[in-house]
Structure 1
Amino acid sequence: MTLRSVFTRRAFAGCALALAALAAHAEAPKPWPTAKPITWIVGFVPGGSVDVLTRAVARVVADRIGQSIVVDNRPGASGALALQYAARAGSDGYTLVTVPGPVLHAQRQPEIGRELAAVALLSQGPIVFVGAAAGTPPQLKDLIAAMKKEPDRWNFASSGTGTGQHLAGELFNTMAGTRMVHVPYKGGGQAVTDVVGGQVSLGMLGVTPVLAQIKAGKLRAYAVTTPFRIPSLPDVPTMAEAGLKGYDATQFFVAAVPAGTDAAVVGKLHAAIAAALTTPEVKAALEAAGQLPGSLSPAQTQDFVVQSLSKFNALAHRSNITLQ
């Protein structure tokens, strides 16, 4: 063997070791979280169910991971603006978004399983079907009879076109044989005010914004949209109990991140959120919203969302629902 070949082999070996070291360094996961604050986006105005629950969970998660979390409200287009912002934010683990569901849009928006990845099912629970205490029939069966007698008189408020609340109202129309007209709002707060004041006949709204008005006797609660009653409104029947057999419009909230976020970061966020859902602070927020805590893995959460959207896409097609 010549001296030249020995040097060549040694040089090659040295280069290989150097390249291996560089590759190992490049593939080493970056520390997370660092001093950079995390932004948690909410696509609706402050004060509604999705905002209140997100803030409660975010406070506990921030304490557990030792990093500040800023909740950023970006209302508009039934939550689509928030989804678009989150999808563009980058997959470095410093952006979360609460995805309420089911929500449908006329134009395809960023969704879980495509531009977004599920982290955890925060909760699932009912929407409440309400009317002003003054001037509305006392029970659901009486209301349905009045709506069939004067079909053009009735409308209902929701937190936006294509939201779970809108879809719950359209499912009601389909199953009850009524034709309420949908009146979309950017959030639950103003919608509740207008239902109490009689500007809108009825409302399909989240528990959080209507609870105080129901307890004050200003709103009449006809039914919850889930197959189960909720502790914060124990005397309010389910739609099935009130006479609409087979009705189920369960609302859910999912924490998601931009697609491509490192699996280890997703796992840490999932663990922190799962722990947060067991704390007294978050349990109180869940109970007030009539929500049950989620217990699904990220993969199971994604499957849950896909199945729910499939059900309500079929409803929208059958009922010719106009989306935006």
Structure 2
Amino acid sequence: MPKTAYVYVPSPSRENLEIGLDQGLWGWRNGTLDRAHARHAVQSLGKGDFLVLGHRGPNSRVAPGGWADATLQRLIVSQVSRPYFTGTVPVWPDDDYPERIGIDVLEEELGVHGTALGADAMEALRLSANKQGAAVLQSGISAVAHLVDAFASTPTPRGDASVDHEGADSAVVQVLVRREQSKLRKALLGGATEAACALCSRVLPTRFIRAAHIKRRSAASRQERLMMANIMPACLIGCDELFEHGYVYVADDGTIAVSPKNVTTSDLIATAKALEGRAVADYGPHRAPFYAWHRTHIAC
């Protein structure tokens, strides 16, 4: 069964929080994990478990349950990408925090009320605040699923945002990634009802346009995932899949080329070649490094 760890990050640690999120890392001082089985909690986290980071809450020196109706100024939902390890490479400016895990940020929300996360999870964050940011572990992911259910009123590009709480870990991740896609679409397309595909230039209703990462989301850093230079409008009637799977790529002069990789059918070859030589929309120095990554790692 997947697990969820809760960590509270106090206001003075804002810089450390930003660095950790950008680096895809979280760490603890040895002394923090020396207390009350805190190290065991961190060491028990496996790849795919969840880490929820709460930031800027109220005074934690209150009775148990005192945070049930509190508001966290910021909440980050992440997934463990690398289990417990020790590291000495400097990351944070004020200390080593040598006991570390790798994290993949899935969602960031501001002004999250306790009812959205649930009383048990809020209590775990309050306890973490009183334990110098030690991880407080809970079995299952019900609180994260509950949070996603609270977000379900936000439109997503496709599908239902509600979560089946039985075996819901993959569903939670899918919903959170769709929420990210929705935010990127809003930034890219605004309130437009039609948009042009960056590859084929066909103008289509926006329901046929995806805010596509040029450098794959799985390979991109947190900052790169949210940079509009790494996002292009790609149509869902062919171009998005051709680019995603590397059958076409963008050369360093900004034109579309067909990959030398093997293709399976003559129709696929013909579809890819129909884009060959076209200039990709909005090519420039801001996008070139992302297209270069795709060209090197996916297409060639």
What TM-score do the two structures reach when normalised by structure 1?
0.23
Task: Compare the two structures and name the one with the higher strand fraction.
Answer: 2
Task: Compare the two structures and name the one with the higher helix fraction.
Answer: 1
Greater relative contact order: 1 or 2 (C-alpha under 8 angstroms, separation 6 or more)?
Answer: 1
What TM-score do the two structures reach when normalised by structure 2?
0.24
